[in-house]
Structure 1
Amino acid sequence: MFTTRPTLQGTFGMVSSTHWLASQSAMAVLEDGGNAFDAAVAAGFVLHVVEPHLNGPAGEVPIVLAPAGGEVRVLCGQGGAPAGATVAHYRSLGLDLVPGTGPLAAAVPGAFDAWMLLLRDHGTKSLADVLAYAIGYAEDGHAPVERVGETVATVRELFEREWPSSAEVYLPGGRPPRPGELFRNPALAATWRRLLAEAEAEAEARVQAGASGGGEGGTGDDLRVAQIEAAREVWRGGFIAEALVRQAGRPTLDTSGTRHVGTLSADDLRGWSASYEDPVTYDWNGWTLCKAGPWSQGPALLQQLALLPKDPADLPAYGSAEYVHLLVEGCKLAMADREAWYGDAGAGAADDVPVRELLSAEYNAVRRRLIGEKASYELRAGAPGGREPRLSAHALAVASGEVGVADASRGPGAAMG
């Protein structure tokens, strides 16, 4: 039967991403002799350019990687909260919640360092090679998807009033980007060009001094690795770090309705780096599924599988109302546990999350009995190991409908701002 979405097959390589320019860039890297890790890094940076409403270099990234013939690993690109972001500090500002937007909502940026570690330890290309695609689309322009302009339109006044540097980029000619028109981000292109120039100069000095670095599974030559290490230092302690700290200290209106400064400091940036860890796994129907740890929401999918019957033959007919009902209600239970039990990234932070109990057969057998014939509208977190769920009054208010979901989430444009 003819279809416009045939099954894709090939013998060389394949790339999938949320934007065709990122996929195309990654495929170009493969065709130029790069490996899958080189291609992934190139695609990641292109997405920062073409999907700024969804992600950015100062965001976060969870990476699950499986080197050929090696073990599955997780690379944590989720920075923790700044040291100054304490409960006492927020309460001293008269806040019961962290605002959904603005500098007080910012974690330590983690995406850039994670991409650098992936390239350093598993890639083969230079930093200049993989950044070339993102720089090109930022400098020469690309046709933005409709959602970019739509998102910018929702925060236009905020950008004009509170985020003038964002307005300069995302309101060219005083209006949001339009589909079909070339949209450029010269400021980002200039940032990457300066970072490359400084990293290359520093790397040359390091190699001459015999001080190049390396890491887990390092495969590159000394100069390539030294350039990546130097770029990490520029991000954490150079002109980019200075700009991040300076922006965090600028009073900005957030969802609390008040202007606040952030808590991000130079010490926060220097004191954090991306790190490797084992994945959280669950075996189901002959497959072992791997997810990032409870600093992400990855284990929630594993919990949803744990809530299903062990024998797929016991599942309701695929696509039936009973089938959809089972999956949706199981998703609700897993997400309730996510709200109650998942925690921050960082050494020792995940030890308080009872992952083993949350995925155990005994726990999920009890949870499965909560799925009745009718949909539940309650936030029903469990008590793994007999522990009491930790749910904030705000989370309960959102679940009951007393607070809108939009009020509880990050505001639109958070990635771009």
Structure 2
Amino acid sequence: MVSSTHWLASSAGMAVLERGGNAFDAAVAAGFVLHVVEPHQNGAGGDLPVVFARGDDKRPTVLCGQGVAPAGATVKHFSDLGLALVPGSGLLAAAVPGAVPAWLTLLRDHGTMELADVLGYAIGYARDGYPVTPAISQCIAEIEPMFREHWTTSADVYLSGGGVPAAGSVFRNLTLAATYQRLADASGSTREARIDAALEAWNQGFVAEAIDAFARTAWRDSSGSDHAGVITGADMAAWQPSYEEPVRYDFGGYTFCKTGSWGQGPVLLQQLALLQGQELGEPGSVDFIHRVVEGAKLAFADREAWYGDGFDTPMDALLSPEYNAERRALIGEVASLELRPGSPEGRVPVLPSRPELPIPVDASTGEPVASGAGRGAARGDTVHVDVVDRWGNMVAAMPSGGWLHSSPVIPALGFCLGTRMQMTWLQDGLASTLTPGLRPRTTLSPTLALRGEEPVLAFGSPGGDQQDQWQLLFVLNHVLGGMDLQAAIDAPTFHTSHFPESFYPRPAYPGRVVAEARLGAAVLDGLRRRGHEVVVAGEWALGRMCVVGRDPERGLVRGAANPRGMQGYAVGR
């Protein structure tokens, strides 16, 4: 079974399974296709966390493809440029691109097929073309002035026909196809050696050389000025993906596994811990939404104070029953308008101070969720793929970054660099202060769930800061509400924009709840009476959930995908 945010990626993954490949082969094939067919949501220059379990040992494992801040990415460097925030677009915000090295590592260590075979699907779509979705066309239209005036290398690719590609037209990226083909043609005496040769070509060869050369030129970014990047080929050569133990939490008979606190993943577990034992009421009711939203506010406040790479995050305390009993007592009958991090182990939280600047928010800021989530716009920023195979291997992967509006296309490679460093702060002493060699605190957050020792669910939703709110609703709908996988995804969705966004220019909307209109006027009015500022989104507007599952006792697999946007697709047999 394969579920992803695009039907072509799911179909490619399923084709790999039909050819005898395993879940890792299929996930890699689907992931590279997503880089091609959803260029407004992710790209080869982005990043990737994966949570997976092998069928032969069942241990949940995290593969971190989130690259680190380059050696030159210091607070002083940005301050000397007169910047109070890391820009949301352009080259300055580029961390080491980790997605492709992570896919290659996953394939080498756990797959069975040749790189050329799994890459062939993405190469074919980049070379021969794929149908442009309405979302791609709209995104390019919004960024068109930036392309024509400042990012001419992007215009050469995305406006190559003289204008914005129309929805339904066939689009090609021949330079990206050539880049992938060079990786696929890497030589070696064994399958693993050929993949290692492709990794070397990326980290130390032609890809690193092209990135190093391109980043030395100044390009316009969301600060309104032109800046060169700080990333170098040496930064790329010094980094590689890593395997880690996940953070776990037991809820409703499942064990949920997430990345460490270098990402926001544990915030899902904190929300579950806060809701543990509460009487939530019916899913979609006023009481249910109020309790979930107030819990999210507390959990995400802790994210702001305590999550960051290289920081001493007190994770055991944050998930402890004692701490969550104290925090749970803060949830009242009316909406809180405060950002209230806790004091685990008696430690005093320190929060960032967002500078009050005349910061423009438009299509050039580089991140669609940032400019739209607070107002209820349903625009994605990321992609997702889940796979389960006949041997019980399970993969949940969340590629993102390097989207077409993040930075100009590198003409020698056909893709853009990411802007993940915008999630750091230029203030010393914070959990997520910009620090060379450390990972920016990413929002990317795939999930694996076990029953007993058996991996049974792999899932995730794109959506920036909303990822672990929409995933929470899926969990509650499925685990507590008894809904099947598809019904749990389809149910009316909501989230809060109460806390500082992870994306430039880092706004917050205290007390705000963004909700699908399907919740109904009575529920929405009930939330307003509780003190929430309610922004009504469309009937089917929020979330891009994907999920696959397995039933070890009956030998069945299952899956579901999001109907919103008419693009997600689950397929299996």
What CA RMSD, in Å, does the superposition of the two structures yield over aligned residues?
A: 2.1
Alignment match, 2:16 = 29
Alignment match, 1:371 = 331
Question: Does the CA contact (< 8 Å) of 1:25 and 1:39 recur in 2?
Answer: yes
Asked if 1:330 corresponds to 2:282, the answer is no
Alignment match, 1:321 = 286
For residues 101-135 of structure 1, the C-alpha deviation after alignment (integer angstroms, 9 at most, x for no partner) is 11111111110111111000100000000100000
In structure 2, do the counterparts of structure 1 residues 68 and 171 end up closer, same or farther at CA, with 3 Å as the change threshold?
same
Post-superposition offset of 1:305: 0.2
Instruction: Tell me, in whole angstroms, the C-alpha distance in 1 between the residues paired with 2:215 and 2:106.
Output: 27
Instruction: Tell me, in whole angstroms, the C-alpha distance in 2 between the residues paired with 1:404 and 1:322.
Output: 37
Question: Does the CA contact (< 8 Å) of 1:343 and 1:353 recur in 2?
Answer: yes
Alignment match, 1:56 = 43
* AA matched with 1:315: L
Post-superposition offset of 1:408: 12
Instruction: Tell me, in whole angstroms, the C-alpha distance in 2 between the residues paired with 1:133 and 1:295.
Output: 32
* AA matched with 2:254: W
* AA matched with 1:411: E
In structure 2, do the counterparts of structure 1 residues 407 and 27 end up closer, same or farther at CA, with 3 Å as the change threshold?
closer
Equivalent residue for 2:184, pick from 187, 193, 196: 196
Question: Does the CA contact (< 8 Å) of 2:146 and 2:364 recur in 1?
Answer: no
Question: Does the CA contact (< 8 Å) of 1:237 and 1:270 recur in 2?
Answer: yes
* Partner secondary structure for residue 95 of structure 2: coil
Asked if 1:157 corresponds to 2:124, the answer is no
Alignment match, 2:162 = 174
For residues 175-222 of structure 1, the C-alpha deviation after alignment (integer angstroms, 9 at most, x for no partner) is 22221111111111011112223x12xx1xxx3xxxxxxxxxxxxxxx
Instruction: Tell me, in whole angstroms, the C-alpha distance in 2 between the residues paired with 1:404 and 1:264.
Output: 25
Which 10-residue stretch deviates more, 380-389 or 89-98? 380-389
In structure 2, do the counterparts of structure 1 residues 100 and 40 end up closer, same or farther at CA, with 3 Å as the change threshold?
same
Asked if 1:187 corresponds to 2:143, the answer is no
For residues 272-331 of structure 1, the C-alpha deviation after alignment (integer angstroms, 9 at most, x for no partner) is 0000000010011211000111122111111110110336xx332332110011111111
Equivalent residue for 1:239, pick from 206, 209, 218: 206
Alignment match, 1:357 = 317
Asked if 1:93 corresponds to 2:81, the answer is yes
Question: Does the CA contact (< 8 Å) of 2:134 and 2:168 recur in 1?
Answer: no
Question: Does the CA contact (< 8 Å) of 1:77 and 1:113 recur in 2?
Answer: yes
Instruction: Tell me, in whole angstroms, the C-alpha distance in 2 between the residues paired with 1:158 and 1:88.
Output: 28
Task: Tell me which of the two structures has the higher relative contact order, counting C-alpha pairs closer than 8 angstroms and 6 or more residues apart.
Answer: 2
* AA matched with 2:115: L
Asked if 1:387 corresponds to 2:347, the answer is yes
Question: Does the CA contact (< 8 Å) of 2:221 and 2:365 recur in 1?
Answer: no
Asked if 1:411 corresponds to 2:376, the answer is no
Post-superposition offset of 1:411: 3.4
Asked if 1:43 corresponds to 2:30, the answer is yes
Post-superposition offset of 1:403: 7.7
Post-superposition offset of 1:170: 1.1
* AA matched with 1:16: S
In structure 2, do the counterparts of structure 1 residues 380 and 409 end up closer, same or farther at CA, with 3 Å as the change threshold?
farther
Instruction: Tell me, in whole angstroms, the C-alpha distance in 1 between the residues paired with 2:366 and 2:127.
Output: 29
Post-superposition offset of 1:343: 1.0
Equivalent residue for 1:248, pick from 198, 215, 219: 215
Count of residues paired in the alignment: 372
In structure 2, do the counterparts of structure 1 residues 278 and 90 end up closer, same or farther at CA, with 3 Å as the change threshold?
same
Question: Does the CA contact (< 8 Å) of 1:309 and 1:315 recur in 2?
Answer: no
Alignment match, 2:497 = none
Alignment match, 1:211 = none
For residues 346-377 of structure 1, the C-alpha deviation after alignment (integer angstroms, 9 at most, x for no partner) is xxx2x522211221112211211222112223
Post-superposition offset of 1:409: 7.0
**1:275-290 correspondence runs (5 A):** 275-290=242-257
Post-superposition offset of 1:387: 2.1
Alignment match, 1:229 = 196
Q: Which is helix-richer, 1 or 2? A: 1
Instruction: Tell me, in whole angstroms, the C-alpha distance in 2 between the residues paired with 1:293 and 1:95.
Output: 29
Instruction: Tell me, in whole angstroms, the C-alpha distance in 1 between the residues paired with 2:365 and 2:291.
Output: 27
* Partner secondary structure for residue 3 of structure 2: coil
Post-superposition offset of 1:340: 1.9
Question: Does the CA contact (< 8 Å) of 2:50 and 2:62 recur in 1?
Answer: yes
Instruction: Tell me, in whole angstroms, the C-alpha distance in 2 between the residues paired with 1:88 and 1:143.
Output: 45
Gaps in structure 1 of 5+ consecutive residues: 1-13, 208-222
Alignment match, 2:2 = 15
Instruction: Tell me, in whole angstroms, the C-alpha distance in 2 between the residues paired with 1:374 and 1:403.
Output: 32
Asked if 1:131 corresponds to 2:119, the answer is yes
* AA matched with 2:287: E
| Higher alpha-carbon Rg | 1
